[in-house]
Structure 1
Amino acid sequence: MVSSPSFLKIRAIAFSLINLFSLLWIVLLSVYMFYEWDTSDPAERPIVAVMLLTDTLTLVMLLILLILPFRPWLDAARFLFLMLAHIGIAGAFAFWNPSFHCPTATPDSEGVCRLLNLYILVASWIIPVLLIMYAAGLALAMVRSSPHNNLPPLERDSILPMMLPTSAGGSHVLSYSYSSEKAPDRGLTSEERRKHISEVSSRTNTGSVPSSLTKLPPAFFV
């Protein structure tokens, strides 16, 4: 299932969607840093710079994964790294966001600065959510395609007569158990019971058939 064409198509669509959001987010962060760098809080600037670097790394890494042959564990390792990086930087921005100050001269400029910080806070979690969704789908596909879930059904024992062992004459040996030919216990003496058991045992060991099955045909058939 992991290497099926449908899963590879879904993988390519997921990578393209994440790359699209990464590219848009890189452009928006670049515009924000160009216009609002002087009016932003000094403690906010390094976090935004690391966020921009993380999105650029995500874009390059996903493009490399699309070019390389698909290997589940390679995808899992690199997506784990990307998830930790994005969740870490988004969590850091969310933690420090209440303490950010906007050194502006007018109240309108301060309101715009805080609104932009809120947009950055919300948008910084979009790519981590997409990465988590793809990682969960990859893990589910790997579990469903594991060898323990694809065991072949147990084969039934053949009961065809041709599978029975053959005797020296080439005919199939018919075995008889004492339970199928057991005579009624009532009305038999111990001597007759021992004689019956010995007859059944001799037929089972020699592979012969009962006398009723080996009776010669009537004379008018010859």
Structure 2
Amino acid sequence: MSTDTRTTQPAQAPRLRKPSWKDPRLLIGILLVLASTAGVIALLESQNTTAEVYSARRDIAVGSALTPEDLVAVPVRLGDSGGSYLPVSEGIPDGAVLTRLVAEGELLPAAALGRRDELNRKPVGLTVEDPLPSGTGPGDRVDVWVSARTDTNSFEEPRLLLEAAEVAELTEGESALGASSSTLVQVLVEDAAMPDLLDALSNDARIAVVLNLGAGS
């Protein structure tokens, strides 16, 4: 019996060819890398771009006509939200008034601008004897309760007339001894609720203003 002394030679691995500049796969890969790099650079540049917009120099109440004295120009980086605020380059629109309170230091939103004839809320002054909690001010929400006067000079059960009305202004009164005697609260009243409130005021109804902590501003 003969023995086969031949050995099996290992198969040679195929040689890798150097990619050619004419290979379309290589060109597509390079284009994708360049496009990705350009997108990242553009994003970083947009985030680092500053623009001047208006900021409130002090609290500005609803219905106030805007003047240069109310505003200050500030450079900010807004990115994609830049269109939400009034740029200094456009100036203050003629006849523009605020449709909501803009607090001191707040950037002026473009959506907060309107015209006086578009306002559906108007300030009404309510004098209340019971002081509101310390720190209550413009922008807070209050409920207004009314107790109508009866023919016998007493008062009916209180009913809720205005819910979550916005405070436009608040002024503390002082007595002769310097102590707080009453508070004048300017609340913003929608046109639909105005007749009932004015009727209550003209008929000497008892008015109570209660801070509404659960209402959003």
Shorter-chain TM-score bucket reads under 0.3
The structure with the largest strand share of the pair is 2
Task: Give TM-score, length-normalised by structure 1.
Answer: 0.19
TM-score by length of 2: 0.19
Higher relative contact order (CA 8 A, sep 6+): 1
- Larger helix percent: 1
